Amino acid sequence: MNRTWAEYKVGFGDPSGNYWFGNDLLRQLTANKSYKLRFDLQQRDTGNWYYAEYSRFKVLSEADNYTLLEGGFSGNASNDALRYQNGYMFATIDRDNDRSSVNCAAMIGGGFWWWRCGECLVNAARTGQFYWVGLPGGRHLQLSRMWLQCK
């Protein structure tokens, strides 16, 4: 389901299931402290788990459209699919901040730091549009989780 800028700003969902922390809170947490970001990714066809970890993760303010700053990839996902989103603004169905010719959030479903609609589609709502490019065994996901860890 597609959500608005205002919903992504404050967060939504059930913390034990489908949940978005809120971009304002992400900005507040990462503004003055050093955080790592980790993705846990379950490949759809094999059920195998992979991870991608970023030793640097920061989200800028709403005035900067919650621009993503990340780096320091490690993990067994075998591809840094998030690297393309570094320096990109957050985009939603009602705030088209991506740099493509279409509104990626409207086309794919879900707000994210879109780069041409996709290498890292861990927050997409449309069937078949939920993946991490370069995973061993295929890119399509069954499940994804994003974790923050204070360093």
CATH code of the domain covering residue 104: 3.90.215.10
Query: What is the reported pTM?
Result: 0.91
Domain holding 25, by residue range, is: 5-150
pLDDT tens profile 81-119: 999 899 999 999 999 999 888 998 888 888 999 888 878
Biggest CA–CA distance in the chain, Å, is 42
For residue 93, the 8-state DSSP code is T
pLDDT tens profile 4-55: 999 999 999 998 888 899 999 999 999 988 899 999 999 999 999 999 999 9
Split into its structural domains, the chain has a count of 1
